[in-house]
Amino acid sequence: MNGTLLLRLAVALILLTHSIFGIFNNGINDFGNLYLNQIGFAPFGVVIAWSIKLSHVVAAVLLILNKYIKLAGFVTIFVLIMGIILVHFQEGWFVVGGGRNGAEYNFLLIIVLVAIMYPGRFAKDTN
């Protein structure tokens, strides 16, 4: 155990809930058709949207199992960075409060994933 269990479970929960709801409320298809296709990814918007959400589900399972953490982290970080570039950057920094739909949440998830991928790497040695 490397001390990342709580972080891994928290990120897995976030990735799963963010994905599962979209599966059952047509959100994934809407994101593909109504957003990705409209900004230039047609005719592949729905396939890309499903790939993103399925990658979240796979990453969540891998985080829970503590397997292939770096692979899961790199793929998810790539998706989160693209989300910042394509969706959140134009809305600013704040998710709520000082704005709406900003990049701060994705930024935090990226930093947490880096901490999970490289446990102890950024800790100050006090010995």
- As a whole number, mean pLDDT of residues 43-53 equals 98
DSSP per-residue codes, 80-126: HHHHIIIIIGGG-S-SSSSSSS-SHHHHHHHHHHHHHHSTTTTSPP-
Residue type, 31: F
**pLDDT, position 28:** 96
Indicate the domain borders of the chain. 4-117
Whether 126 has a pLDDT exceeding 70, the answer reads no
Phi then psi dihedrals of residue 39, to 5 deg: -100, 15
The residue assigned the tokens 């985080």 is 63
Q: What is the pTM of this model?
A: 0.91
**pLDDT, position 1:** 56
In angstroms, what is the C-alpha Rg of the chain?
A: 16
16 neighbors 56 (Cβ within 8 angstroms): yes
